[in-house]
């Protein structure tokens, strides 16, 4: 070995050396390799004797994990097992999840994560992320500095008021930021040490939680009004100061806060709301894919939304932006989006509409039920974002099929129990003509000699890629244009064979590669619009692939 080679070897060895030794090393999930530590590493790192003597290959470890998970009686037990693995060995967790994303995505996120949040206090093993309450007002910056890592690039924050379709879960909503960030890593390739889940525990109005002796949040009613806004403002400013390169993702805030917080901060920092913009983007991608089946352009669709909350309005806003980018006037684009809320058709004579619904309150006579609205408006696409199960009845689906050769029916409410209809119902009631997508997964459907593979409009297709694009470009803002370009990129990855089977999205097994293309599309917008701070490379896609985290053990010896 030459002197130069020896020096390089010492430098590489020092760079790979873990910051901890002995039992502390085994208790750090980012550094721990479990039984994969070689004998040489065990001698050097002071862990000899602290592990069984056999040295396992990563594939052997993965097989052990999968066998144990598959033996579990239900998905909730599998969810708990996977979280325990995440707490012990993050590299192995991400290797298992990345290699088996189609099988494990419904377990680490929707629909199982909803049950995990409901039982959060009862399943609690080890804390992940940061909890911030009103009692930390004036010292939020100091709380953020308690986080052990400084190079945070993605923060997902919730206040727990609207967890999936389950409502106010208070501090128990922490399962959502943890789950989202695991997808940032598994799907988008964001390194796990650059992610931070946060719950703003501002209380809960869920009396069952307040009465639960095991509940782990503050036992008080929700903070509202000026006190809430001041806490949010301090939090956002503190994130900008402590983690200046971080993207901030708002997650599962209730409608009355979600829209106004997005409007307040979207032009002040790099942030977005996944329930509004991520859901919109994956739905728009589904519409683009459906257009390849029907032969219609997006600007020719007439869309009726069942539900008029943040998801529905977010979809409509992005659809309007995408139509306008293709040359449609804003007035014409908006006129193609109609809404039914919990009371009636959103139309101009109503005096009880919230501000976010007013732009879509078109002139029309009052209509009180969804079936009548479908028959009257004759939409080409019916999109369910109501959070309520079984809203798309047989009569409604048949009505859609009566004036559409290929009716678009999206039942997007989560979890599965809240879906507006099942895939089988949509295909059977439309005589196999429906173009269907759902928010939660449904199995394949066999109908009259044909097998349909229903597409899942899962936000996991979108937000990890958009986040990685923001990181790669050093974006100072996240814009609607990034989301409709992400939708185009996603739809472009769907093959004609998949469309033939009725699937509007690429296989989940392609998520990492899909996320790389979405990241490149989002980063390209950042460079074009002057929001990028990182130097641009000739091949954005190659750069993003090079940045993607790979769950591989380092060699410590």
**180 with 308, same domain?**
no
Domain final position from 269, 288, 320: 269
Note whether residue 307 is domain-resident.
yes
Domain final position from 105, 140, 156: 105
User: Is the predicted pLDDT of residue 8 greater than 80, yes or no?
Assistant: no
Q: Are 230 and 136 in contact (CB under 8 A)?
A: no
User: Is the predicted pLDDT of residue 299 greater than 70, yes or no?
Assistant: yes
pLDDT at site 17? 61
**332 with 381, same domain?**
yes
**63 with 129, same domain?**
no
Note whether residue 518 is domain-resident.
no
Q: What CATH number is attached to the domain comprising 62?
A: 1.20.1370.30
User: Is the predicted pLDDT of residue 16 greater than 60, yes or no?
Assistant: no
**168 with 248, same domain?**
yes
**225 with 174, same domain?**
yes
Containing 435, the helix (H) or strand (E) segment is strand 435-438
* H-only helix segments in 387-446: 394-403, 423-429
**437 with 376, same domain?**
yes
- Give the Cα separation of 392 and 181 in Å (integer): 33
- Give the Cα separation of 100 and 509 in Å (integer): 8
User: Is the predicted pLDDT of residue 13 greater than 70, yes or no?
Assistant: no
Note whether residue 526 is domain-resident.
no
Here the tokens at position 383 are: 């999109």
Note whether residue 394 is domain-resident.
yes
Tell me which residues are annotated as active site.
109, 180
Output 8 or 212, whichever has higher pLDDT: 212
Containing 196, the helix (H) or strand (E) segment is strand 195-201
Domain final position from 242, 269, 296: 269
Note whether residue 473 is domain-resident.
no
Here the tokens at position 289 are: 């894919």
**262 with 362, same domain?**
no
Number of domains in the chain: 3
Between vectors from CA 428 to CA 426 and to CA 434, what angle results, nearest 5°? Answer: 45
Note whether residue 61 is domain-resident.
yes
pLDDT at site 163? 93
**441 with 300, same domain?**
yes
Share of the chain above pLDDT 90, in %: 92
Could you read off the pLDDT of 160-206 as tens digits, one per residue?
Answer: 999 987 899 999 999 999 999 999 999 999 999 999 999 999 999 99
Q: What CATH number is attached to the domain comprising 221?
A: 3.40.50.10380
Here the tokens at position 513 are: 């590669």
Report, as an integer, the average pLDDT of 323-341.
96
Task: Kindly report the average pLDDT of the chain as a whole number.
Answer: 94
Residue span of the structural domain in which 330 resides: 277-460
**238 with 157, same domain?**
yes
* Confidence tier at 474 by pLDDT (50, 70, 90): very high
């Amino acid at each position: 070995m030459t002197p130069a080679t020896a020096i390089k070897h010492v430098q590489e060895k020092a760079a790979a050396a873990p910051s901890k030794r002995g039992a502390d090393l085994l208790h750090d999930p980012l550094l721990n390799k479990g039984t994969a530590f070689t004998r040489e590493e065990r001698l050097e790192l002071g862990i000899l004797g602290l592990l069984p003597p056999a040295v396992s290959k990563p594939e052997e470890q993965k097989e052990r994990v999968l066998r144990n998970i598959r033996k579990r009686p239900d998905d909730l037990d599998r969810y708990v097992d996977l979280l325990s693995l995440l707490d012990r060995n993050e590299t192995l967790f991400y290797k298992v999840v990345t290699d088996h994303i189609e099988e494990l995505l419904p377990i680490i996120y929707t629909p199982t994560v909803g049950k995990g949040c409901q039982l959060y206090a009862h399943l609690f093993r080890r804390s992940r992320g940061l909890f911030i309450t009103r009692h930390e007002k004036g010292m939020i910056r100091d709380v953020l500095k308690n986080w052990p890592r400084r190079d945070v690039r993605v923060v997902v924050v919730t206040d727990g008021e609207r967890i999936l379709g389950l409502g106010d879960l208070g501090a128990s909503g922490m399962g959502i930021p943890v789950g989202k960030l695991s997808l940032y890593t598994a799907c988008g390739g964001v390194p796990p040490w650059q992610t931070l889940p946060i719950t703003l525990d501002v209380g809960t109005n869920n009396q069952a939680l307040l009465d639960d002796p095991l509940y782990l949040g503050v036992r008080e009613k929700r903070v509202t009004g000026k006190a809430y806004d001041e806490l949010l403002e301090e939090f956002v400013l503190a994130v900008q100061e402590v983690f200046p390169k971080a993207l901030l993702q708002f997650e599962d805030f209730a409608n009355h806060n979600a829209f106004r917080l997005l409007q307040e901060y979207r032009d002040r920092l790099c942030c977005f709301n996944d329930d509004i913009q991520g859901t919109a983007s994956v739905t728009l991608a589904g519409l683009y894919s459906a257009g390849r089946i029907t032969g219609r352009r997006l600007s020719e669709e007439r869309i009726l939304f069942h539900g008029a909350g943040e998801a529905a309005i977010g979809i409509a806003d992005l659809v309007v932006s995408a139509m306008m980018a293709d040359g449609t006037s804003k007035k014409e684009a908006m006129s193609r989006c109609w809404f039914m809320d919990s009371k009636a058709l959103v139309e101009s004579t109503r005096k009880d509409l919230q501000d976010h619904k007013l732009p879509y309150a078109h002139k029309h006579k009052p209509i009180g039920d969804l079936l009548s609205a479908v028959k009257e408006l004759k939409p080409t696409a019916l999109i369910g974002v109501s959070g309520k199960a079984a809203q798309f009845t047989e009569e409604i689906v048949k009505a859609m099929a009566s004036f559409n050769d290929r009716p678009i029916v999206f039942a997007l409410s989560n979890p599965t129990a809240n879906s507006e209809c099942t895939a089988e119902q949509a295909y059977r009631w439309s005589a196999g003509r429906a173009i269907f997508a759902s928010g939660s997964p449904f199995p394949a459907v066999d109908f009259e000699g044909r097998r349909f593979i229903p597409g899942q409009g899962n936000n996991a297709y979108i937000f990890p890629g958009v986040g990685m694009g923001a990181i790669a470009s050093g974006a100072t803002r996240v814009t609607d244009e990034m989301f409709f370009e992400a939708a185009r990129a996603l739809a472009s990855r769907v093959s004609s064979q998949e469309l033939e089977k009725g699937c509007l999205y690429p296989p989940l097994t392609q998520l990492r590669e899909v996320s790389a293309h979405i990241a490149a599309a989002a980063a390209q917008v950042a460079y074009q619009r002057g929001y990028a701070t990182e130097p641009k490379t000739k091949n954005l896609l190659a750069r993003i692939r090079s940045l993607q985290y790979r769950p591989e053990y380092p060699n410590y010896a």
